[in-house]
Amino acid sequence: MLDISVEFCGKRLENPFILASAPPTANCQLIRRGFEAGWAGAVVKTIAPTYSPTIRSRFTSNKIGNKLVSFGNIEQLSTKEVESWLPELKKLKQEFPNKCLIVSILGGINSNSCIELIEKINDVKPDMYEINLSCPHYIEDESCLSIGQNASLAAKVMKQAKSATDAPVMAKLTSNVTDITIIGNAVKKSGANALSAINTVRALLGINIDKIEAEPSIDGYSTFGGLSGPSIKPIALRCILELYKGVKLPISGCGGITTWEDAVQFLMCGATTLQLATSVMLHGFDIINKLKEGLSNYLLKKGFNSVNNIIGIVTNKLIEPYELNQKSNVYYKIDINKCNGCKKCYIACQDGGFGAIKMSNNKAVIDENKCDGCSLCLHVCPVKNCVYPVTY
């Protein structure tokens, strides 16, 4: 296997994969198992200055068939108070000195809460701190998301955090803002060493139409929650690319990573390390093996000799809409030998396209003079490589 190590804020990680702050990092026994499985680092479940309650039940999921497309939660922060984390974290750090141990703490504006928390944790000698400025459903008003959406509050909290430690400090940002680079640059000015993006996306997680109530329901009531998993990946990629170009700090990418292909995409958009939560919750720590193997094989196959070679590599391919070539021409063809006659492309093109597809002897055929090149047929076709583009 290729060397897939990366350097992040002065620390060498054996691979870019880190357990995100979430249930798989809710205690040190779990983190230990993650390290043993091969994860290069872990962000501890966010520690708050005061007791964080448990809310039951707290998860939802959206599936298409058997495939989960998104996951929802209204989980709160670590239910363990800082004092009960300390001896275990210290032991863990001593046991795994080469792993990247990142302690996440709540970003709160109540005077000095960050400073007090960090000063208690410094003795553990974590490799980094992550300041959670982005949980969309924490029960206290003046913390988390409301800070991550406000540049001057975010800057103030980062300044407090930086004053309390010599360890690198990373800000965990939300996509729920108009321009994520404004928040990124504000925390950079206050000394942030890195950014992690994104947290869960604020969402109404679901409505139960039989019970006529929102989900997850607690005594008939719910609240807006956080969406994670595959469906938030495009939002995360966009945010990472914007931060890479517009802030220029190291980035820990997060949001919807499930496969090694996802990981490669995040690296190409500018992430140096990669955090995963939902897919670890669903499939377990051992997914690390496929992630590492897939990334290494991809780099070898493409002739890259290190992960660094692909970090940010796609960012100069993103331009403004008005800069796109409006003269580029393409139409689509159907491989008659692969067409199974399902009519999906025919229906889509009739009702959502340009009426360019007809059925002939139970096969779909495209009239290239009518085809607009929109690609809708390609996206509804269930057969791999049956529909293909032709440029002219």
CA dist list (Å): 88 to 76, 111, 127, 129, 144: 21, 28, 15, 17, 26
126 forms part of the interface with ligand FMN (CB under 6 A)? no
Beta strands in 16-167 (DSSP E): 17-19, 41-43, 59-64, 67-73, 100-106, 128-132
Distance in angstroms (rounded) separating the CA atoms of residues 287 and 294 = 11
**240 or 386: CB nearest ligand FMN:** 240
Per-residue interface string for the shown chain with ligand FMN, residues 309-348, x marking contact by CB under 6 A: ----------------------------------------
250 forms part of the interface with ligand FMN (CB under 6 A)? no
What's the closest the beta carbon of residue 260 comes to ligand FMN, in angstroms? 14
**214 or 376: CB nearest ligand FMN:** 214
**269 or 366: CB nearest ligand FMN:** 269
Q: Say if residues 356 and 362 touch (Cβ distance below 8 Å).
A: no
Choose the binding region for ligand FMN from 213-221, 252-260, 303-311, 315-323 (rule: CB under 6 A).
252-260
Choose the binding region for ligand FMN from 5-13, 29-37, 210-218, 277-285 (rule: CB under 6 A).
277-285
From candidates 60, 143, 273, 278, binder to ligand FMN by CB under 6 A: 278
For tokens 């070539």, the residue is 325
Beta strands in 174-325 (DSSP E): 194-197, 201-203, 207-208, 213-214, 225-228, 251-254, 273-276
**254 or 356: CB nearest ligand FMN:** 254
Per-state percent for the chain, helix, strand, coil, to nearest 5: 35, 20, 40
Q: How far is CA 67 from the centre of its chain?
A: 18
Choose the binding region for ligand FMN from 8-16, 21-29, 177-185, 309-317 (rule: CB under 6 A).
21-29
256 forms part of the interface with ligand FMN (CB under 6 A)? yes
What's the closest the beta carbon of residue 385 comes to ligand FMN, in angstroms? 29
Least Cα distance to 254 among 201, 211, 313, 209 occurs for 201
What's the closest the beta carbon of residue 121 comes to ligand FMN, in angstroms? 15
What's the closest the beta carbon of residue 150 comes to ligand FMN, in angstroms? 17
Pairing of strands 273-276, 194-197: unpaired
Distance in angstroms (rounded) separating the CA atoms of residues 235 and 175 = 7
CA dist list (Å): 207 to 45, 58, 66, 220: 28, 14, 20, 11
Pairing of strands 67-73, 59-64: antiparallel
Choose the binding region for ligand FMN from 84-92, 271-279, 291-299, 332-340 (rule: CB under 6 A).
271-279
174 forms part of the interface with ligand FMN (CB under 6 A)? no
**132 or 160: CB nearest ligand FMN:** 132
**Is 135 known to be catalytic?**
yes
What's the closest the beta carbon of residue 364 comes to ligand FMN, in angstroms? 36
- Element housing 114 (H / E): helix 113-121
379 CB-side CA count, 13 A: 8
Choose the binding region for ligand FMN from 69-77, 158-166, 317-325, 384-392 (rule: CB under 6 A).
69-77
Written as six digits, the tokens of 64 are 């298409």
From candidates 80, 137, 162, 172, binder to ligand FMN by CB under 6 A: 172
Q: Which spans of this chain sit near ligand FMN (rule: CB under 6 A)? A: 20-23, 45-46, 71, 73, 75, 77, 104, 132, 135, 172, 199-200, 228-229, 232, 254-257, 276-279
Catalytic residues: 135
